[in-house]
Amino acid sequence: MTDKKDGSSQPHYAGHRERLRQKFRDAGPEALHDYELLELILFRSIPRKDTKPIAKDLIDRFGSFAEVLSAPEALLMEMSGIKQSVVTDLKLIQAAATKFTHGQVKDRPILSSWTALIDHCRTAMAFNEIEQFRILFLDKKNALIADEVQQTGTVDHTPVYIREVVKRALELSATAIIMVHNHPSGDPTPSRADIDMTKQVADAAERLGITLHDHLIVAKNGHTSFKGLGLL
């Protein structure tokens, strides 16, 4: 049964949907609140229901547009009005964003595309709820050979096996690497364990002619560069 407030043939939210689409067309995404951008996506996923309350509930629960896209499927499914088809659409948007940012660094000298690299790393893992450790393997021109997740841990710890890091770099004939991991807490400040592990990897890699250019920590509240902090 169609939900109408004025007896017209259109549901009450039809005019709102068109006004929001027009706002996006006229002013772009920067003019939209996080919940409004989420609404635009949900229009297609939930065509016969007012999606504004659902979008606001999702932002209230997870914090931001990016955090909604990165939220675990099981937690998304707990939300009222969210079905598997909606979760699939949200994860598709997340995958598309990751693919897009990866394309900005692929086959380009990483050290001269630093902003694009940070964007890619934040999109891929800054909002994850568990720690993830990944490595970017570079060739002698500092172009990206591979971007691989090496380990996945818990909410505050990821085991890093130095031998495996160096072994994989040799397998790919990489001459340099950049390590990246996330802090689900939101604070990108390196721990003492992060600092000690980074030095151990740098020393082991250097003995085999492999340079550790940087170790990045990404989180929802920003990012940290070990090189920028003088720790490398």
pLDDT in tens, 37-64: 899 889 888 888 888 899 999 989 888 8
Contact 181, 217 (CB under 8 A): yes
- Supply the pTM of this predicted model: 0.64
In a domain, 114, yes or no: yes
In a domain, 232, yes or no: no
| Residues 119 and 197 reside in one and the same domain | yes
Other C-beta atoms lying within 10 Å of the C-beta of residue 89: 15
| Residues 80 and 156 reside in one and the same domain | no
| Residues 120 and 218 reside in one and the same domain | yes
| Residues 114 and 32 reside in one and the same domain | no
In a domain, 4, yes or no: no
Domain count for the chain: 2
In a domain, 155, yes or no: yes
| Residues 70 and 24 reside in one and the same domain | yes
| Residues 132 and 174 reside in one and the same domain | yes
| Residues 113 and 220 reside in one and the same domain | yes
Rounded to a whole number of angstroms, the CA Rg of the chain reads 21
pLDDT tops 60 at residue 3: no
* Secondary structure of 121-176 as H, E, C letters: HHHHHCCCCCCEEEEEEECCCCEEEEEEEEEECCCCCCCCCHHHHHHHHHHCCCCE
Domain membership of residue 89 as a residue range = 14-99
In a domain, 230, yes or no: no
| Residues 120 and 215 reside in one and the same domain | yes
pLDDT for res 226: 95
Could you tell me the pLDDT band of residue 128, with boundaries at 50, 70 and 90? confident
Other C-beta atoms lying within 10 Å of the C-beta of residue 93: 15
